Amino acid sequence: MTFAKSYEPGDYESDIYAAWEAAGIFEPTVPTVPTDDDGNGIDDREKITNSSTFSIVMPPPNANGNLHIGHGLTIALEDSLTRYYRLRGESTWYIPGADHAGFETWVVYEKELEKQGHTRFEYSRDDLYARVWDFVAKQRGNMELQLRALGASCAWDDLTFTLDENVIDRVYTTFEKMWNDGLIYRDEKLVNYCPKHRTAFADIEVEHKDEKGTLWDIEYKLAEDSDGPVHSLIVSTTRPETLFGDTAVAVNPEDKRYKSLIGKHVKLPLTDRTIPIIADEHADPEYGTGAVKITPAHDFDDFEVGERHQLERIKVISENGTMINVPNEYEGLTTTECRKKVLKDLKEAGLLRGEKKIEHSVGHCYKCGTVLEPMLKEQWFVDVAKLAKTAIVHLENDEIRFFPANKKSILINYYKGLKDWNISRQIPWGIAIPMFRKADDSATDEPDWIFDRRTNLREIEKAGVTYVRDEDTFDTWFSSSHWPIVCTDWTEENYNPYYPLNVMETGADILFAWVARMIMMGLYVTGEVPFKEVYLHGLVLDEHGKKMSKSKGNVINPMDLVTKYGSDAFRLGILRGRSAGMNQAFSENSVIAGRNLCNKLWNISRLVQSIVDKSEDSISDSYTTENMGEDWICREINDCLEQVAADMENYRFAEAVETIYSTIWDKYADWFLESQKLFRNTSLLKHTLEALLIALHPFAPFVTEVIWQNLSWADGFIATKKWPKSFEFDPISAENFENIRIIVSEARSTLAALGSANNAKKYDLLYDNDSLVEDNLLLIKALLKVPAINPLNGAPRGLRLALANHEVYLDVPEKAVNDYRDALTEKILSVGRELDALNLRMSNPNYVEKAPEHLVKETKDAITEKTALIARLKQQLELI
RNA sequence: GGAUCUUUAGCUCAGUUGGCUAGAGCGCACGAUUCACAUUCGUGAGGUCACUGGUUCGAAUCCAGUAAGAUCCACCA
């Protein structure tokens, strides 16, 4: 292959990925379990602990969805880590996943059903499960192709789908253990319920929004005669339709107005029921009239009040959102219709005493936006107290490092306030809860519920008693909390070198929903934390710093960017300027900068290859440095490699990329390669180019691999090479080159200041008594592009460069020097200001006394240098 | 109501335990150009580090407060 004039990512990327995949280089090299002679797994740690491993799991994208920009960031982060540790020689295992996305997929499928004129109620649970399975199978595959396009170097053979058998098995094993440990219980509680989707949610899934609403005042007349002035209670409510479910009115025990009424009763409007007046702290004397209706079946606070006072729970709203257990004329109305009628009837009865507009927060379904109904339902709950407590102990023991670090205490706080976890969902698309209910009431000695794995059966028989399967499925977070365990094939029997994971990388927004639960579950199942480090990324915002959303129309599709600029450019661009946990704006400019870097590297390689082609040297594994530029680039590359290693250790991706970027561009291309146009050290060129390619490979895998495949001397895949060793060089020689750079830069800057009117570039350079310049005439001439460099020979003339330690002049005519007079004066003033600042510092005895020695020395040296510089510049000014 | 985070150049962001003249990319201005690259090269302009106090020899950095913005948790009859 030869190098085209510019790098066109689209011409190579898919072939390169296919070649990697065919070569099987993404598979880990150390087995998960050592085996005995019969091929059975054994617990022989000796056999595998000698090799080091790096494991990381992919937060599974929706199996039948498309990747969004957040996935793009996720892959860029995770794959950079994976490829970096692969180059560092670890047995890396990046385990890909696909999510059945229980609720999301269900919502999509249900819409599809509706389009076809059907509803879920026409089918059995098992039918629906099979239908969604087919639906997903047909849609599947897009996201896996997109992961490949992004360059994810994951072990495809080990892809885990969240409904795989081993996942379900593990989840059932855990559930059984929890059931036996008494951590699972069934209870009738209020849950957040979406009447449209007809399923309950966990607290964490509820989306609270501030909304405008109305607060109505309703009069409840006292049932008993009263001696005092009070003959009725006014209660305030935003939900008048629930009054049929009221079983008490509460007042605050300290509220003097109502003290005498406690224990008496009121008539419930529009009904013939009377309900008691109770005393409870929940009633706030300052709010409204201080009296509050209590509806235990339809309000979370009221439920708790009801618990305290053993109030009856009357359920007046059904699962489909219509009224039940209410007077005939209201029966079957929707809640909205019922509210209207109740208000109308109250008004007619003269019991509606006022209304005002308020703003309050209301729970919504995060998918369809429907207002959630607190609904009384029997559900399975996990008693989280012990799990959370254990998790806190391990976190406080610093067994997991967090990036950003403050998330640890946030998580501990969360665990402290964690309520029991509702794991039942009324959605067919998910893992069936392996519990069966006794069908025959007469078998009184048998338990009401039994655990059984045979969830493919609707009915089972045990000890002659028939049991019917619970129709519900697990909350997807219950199964995904096992993710590190199931992906690494962790088992009770054998030591697994990939568990715990080295790092869990995911979005900061699911710290509670996912990370918190993986930690609890990992500890419960394996006794170990499931990962040693957690890196949380923030949201990718649009270019103006706003959240991306379909409704705003500001969504950026990562695949469009990959097509337009290449996968590497996208990865480099999305990593730039990003740090752990921060929401950050996306900037297409950064992707463009990434694209430019790829092209730059391509052309650097093209130049190096052309030099190698012309060279008559035989290919050699060793190198020597023969001039200053070579020593200098070795020094710079060593610094770069060290810096990148430190950055990766601390998950500072943006800094790592920045470091390599400037080493490749500002140092290697701009200075070293320019100098190599004179001195052609082919074996060093090869080694240094390889080092830079390898250093960039984790972040830009495609272009580095394409170049690698193109280089005449390189073999194998760069993806599996070893991280470069540091280069040997002469530090004094390297520092000399640094001085040449300073001279050249100063000369360029002065030439530019002389301006185009003076046709600056035709001036010669003069030097006096300066061996560094004298010994490097050719190099300086090439870098500076001046016509000639000559010894001064005689009195100073032309324009002296503002260098303290070198006597170098630009051979400009007197007129041009005069034109430069103002610039020179300004320069003297500005150096003078710096000198003043330094002198001021030294004149402070506290500084000299208390600041570290090396700083004081640096200050002294700077003063000496600047003093000399000013003297020389002033001398020059006098000459003019 | 509780908590966390952010505020640095026109834009998007770095700036690790306090320490040289606060940096990068993009944008802007001026200049260059056969001979790796216009996805290029060179030079430059541009910052009261949100504000007010404090600690310190020294503060963008640490502390306290104020302002603006963002996010999360809880709750609002």
**CA at A540, C1' at B70: how many angstroms apart?**
13
3-state secondary structure of A57: strand
CB A310 within 8 A of CB A185: no
Q: Is the pTM of this model over 0.90?
A: yes
Q: Which nucleotide is nearest to A569 (CA to C1')?
A: B39
**End-to-end CA, chain A:** 59
Q: Which nucleotide is nearest to A404 (CA to C1')?
A: B5
Q: How many Å from the CA of A405 to C1' of B63?
A: 20
Confidence at residue A618, expressed as pLDDT on a 0 to 100 scale: 65
Residue nearest to nucleotide B74 (CA to C1'): A417
E-strand ranges in A770-836 read: 789-791, 799-800, 808-811
The dihedral formed by the CA atoms of A71, A74, A80 and A83, expressed in degrees to the nearest 10: -70
User: Is A673's CB less than 7 Å from nucleic acid strand B?
Assistant: yes
Chain B positions under 7 Å from a protein CB?
3-6, 11-16, 19-21, 24-26, 30-32, 36-44, 56-58, 70-77
**Which residues from the 7-36 window of protein chain A have CB within 7 angstroms of nucleic acid chain B?**
7-8
Characterise A412 by phi-psi region: left (phi > 0), alpha (psi -120 to 50), beta (else).
Answer: alpha
CA pseudo-torsion sign A307, A310, A315, A319: positive
Return the beta strands (E) in A463-543 as ranges: 465-469, 473-474, 501-507, 531-537, 540-541
CB of residue A509 closer than 7 A to nucleic acid strand B?
yes
Instruction: Report helix, strand or coil for A154.
Output: coil
Which of residues 792 to 821 on A have a Cβ less than 7 angstroms from any strand B atom? none
Sign of the torsion angle spanned by Cα atoms A538, A541, A546, A550: negative
Which nucleotide is nearest to A847 if distance is taken from CA to C1'? B57
A782 touches strand B (CB under 7 A): no
A756 strand B contact, CB < 7 Å:
yes
> Any idea which residue has 């005995």 for tokens?
A36
Which pair of structure tokens corresponds to residue A577? Answer: 């300027």
Q: Are A85 and A55 in contact (CB under 8 A)?
A: no
> CA of A695 and C1' of B46: distance in angstroms?
34
A864 touches strand B (CB under 7 A): no
Distance A735 CA to B49 C1' (A): 33
Output the distance from A763 CA to B29 C1' rounded to whole Å.
25
Protein A767 CA to nucleic acid B33 C1', in Å? Answer: 28
What is the Cα–Cα distance from A275 to A254, expressed in whole angstroms? 21
Which DSSP letter does residue A652 get?
-
Question: Average pLDDT by consecutive 10-residue portion of chain A (880 residues)?
Answer: 90 97 96 84 78 94 92 96 97 96 86 90 92 91 95 97 96 98 92 85 77 87 77 88 93 86 91 92 82 91 89 91 92 92 93 85 80 88 94 93 90 90 89 94 86 95 92 93 97 94 94 95 97 93 84 88 96 90 89 94 96 78 89 95 92 93 95 93 95 97 97 95 95 93 91 67 86 92 90 86 87 81 82 85 86 87 87 80
Q: DSSP readout, A688-716?
A: HHHHHHHHHTTTSHHHHHHHHHHSSS--S
Question: Which among A154, A152, A4, A13 has a CA at the least distance from the CA of A562?
Answer: A13
- The CA-CA-CA angle for residues A748, A754, A755, to 5°, reads 95
Nearest nucleotide from residue A3 CA, by C1' atom: B36
Dihedral sign for Cα atoms in the order A628, A630, A635, A640 = positive
What pLDDT, on a 0 to 100 scale, did the predictor assign at position A767?
93
Tokens of A69: 């920009």
Beta carbon of A237 within 7 Å of strand B? Answer: yes
State residue A617's pLDDT score: 67
CA–CA separation, A753 and A822 (whole Å):
11
